[in-house]
Structure 1
Amino acid sequence: MITELHTERLFLRKMNVLDAASLFEIWSDPEVTRFMNITPFTDEHQAIAMINILDDLSQENKAIRFSIIAQESNEIIGSCGYNLLDYDNLKAEIGYDIARSHWGKGYATEAISSLLAHAFSTMKLNRIEAKVDPDHVNSIKLLLKLNFTYEGTLRAYERAGETFNDLNMYSKLATDE
């Protein structure tokens, strides 16, 4: 499985424990994690544990998560990847997060575009999915900009504490290119 992707301004590298301090800074921001299925981290060991979980999934060929690195500064500014790989059905689910200080600069669009290109051209996947909180307007705008199709709302799909949240399902097919 590929461990690096390059774009005009970004370097996507398979995340590792050396990234923990930078990712902790991102994942401890309540604004960044607001629509993620995690609560803001309070200790760097949580980031290490998350990276280890993601690495285990990668070793099993079930997922891969990349640290997003701005080439100009060599700074980790977020993460993205295939949260779930289903080779039997030639599909994957994507996820992404960007540090608040880098919002609005087109980095998420650039990173996700590279994931899509790799998924369709190299991995020969047929379908890419993204599940998004209906209130996460910026993420929805990103997916629509990348020509994802809204498929509907998954009612009470994900548990957050004592409540169940709806998620909107978006997809893009290889034939949509």
Structure 2
Amino acid sequence: MSDYFETERLICRPFKLADAEDMLRNWASDPDIQNEYGEPVYTDIEQVRELIRLYTDPKSPKSRYRWAVVEKQSGENIGQIAFCKIWDDCKTAEAEYCISKRFWGRGYAGEALSALISYTFMNTDIVKLEAYHRAENIKSGRVLEKSDMHITDTVQRFVREGVSPEGEVCYCIEKDEYLRKCLSDIII
């Protein structure tokens, strides 16, 4: 199994310590980005290096299924895409993503998410991929709306917490439906 995947414009690969400067400049220090998906704002390079150490330590839960999103043209780390939660008992994962504001409006988040969906169902034993966004996070909502995922009532995170989503819009896609769609695209 490959540890990276790519698209026409992006490489999604494991993090490296060399990503620290790009991360700090492009997204890890930006409160608008970090707060949107519940991560702290990093203010100096050493904090970001420590985060990368967590992302690259095989013993850390933060290292499992997490990729730097690198724009091929510039070679810059412009964001990340990951499974922020994995429930092994039901083979379900929750996706998260962020892209630097400097790169918004170019379709990069959607491109990375589409590649992640394909990678997930072709290379892992995960059978359901989920995501959600806060209703007021319209940009993230547009990414999910345009993806192969569809709106659903809830996701594993809320089921496990015993709460109903309030103010969140939930999405999912199952492996079987993704594979059927791929097959129908080939036939057409």
SS in 2 for 1:32: helix
Residues 14 and 68 in structure 2, CA contact (< 8 A), matched pair in contact too: yes
Residues 63 and 84 in structure 1, CA contact (< 8 A), matched pair in contact too: no
Unpaired runs of 5+ residues, structure 2, are 179-188
SS in 1 for 2:89: coil
Name the CA distance, whole Å, in 2 between partners of 1:58 and 1:94. 20
What is aligned with 1:9?
Answer: 9
Residues 24 and 44 in structure 1, CA contact (< 8 A), matched pair in contact too: yes
- Which stretch has the larger CA shift, 165-174 or 140-149? 165-174
Q: Does 1:138 align with 2:126?
A: no
Name the CA distance, whole Å, in 2 between partners of 1:166 and 1:58. 34
Residues 85 and 95 in structure 2, CA contact (< 8 A), matched pair in contact too: yes
Residues 30-69 of structure 1: CA deviation (Å, up to 9, x unaligned): 2222312123221222212222222336766972211111
Measured after TM superposition, the shift of residue 86 of structure 1 is: 3.2
SS in 2 for 1:73: coil
Name the CA distance, whole Å, in 1 between partners of 2:74 and 2:103. 12
What is aligned with 1:51?
Answer: 52
Residues 65 and 82 in structure 1, CA contact (< 8 A), matched pair in contact too: yes
Name the CA distance, whole Å, in 2 between partners of 1:58 and 1:142. 31
SS in 1 for 2:151: strand
What amino acid is aligned across from residue 8 of structure 2 in structure 1?
E
Give the share of equivalent positions with the same residue, in percent: 26
Name the CA distance, whole Å, in 1 between partners of 2:87 and 2:59. 12
Name the CA distance, whole Å, in 1 between partners of 2:62 and 2:50. 18
Residues 61-115 of structure 1: CA deviation (Å, up to 9, x unaligned): 9722111111111111111122233343222111111010100101111111111
Unpaired runs of 5+ residues, structure 1, are 158-164
What amino acid is aligned across from residue 148 of structure 1 in structure 2?
M
Measured after TM superposition, the shift of residue 150 of structure 1 is: 2.4
- What is the number of equivalent residue pairs in this alignment? 169
Residues 135 and 169 in structure 2, CA contact (< 8 A), matched pair in contact too: yes
Q: Does 1:102 align with 2:107?
A: no
CA RMSD, Structure 1 to Structure 2 (Å): 2.5
Residues 62 and 85 in structure 1, CA contact (< 8 A), matched pair in contact too: no
TM-score (norm 2): 0.78
What is aligned with 2:185?
Answer: none
What is aligned with 2:176?
Answer: 175
Larger radius of gyration: 2
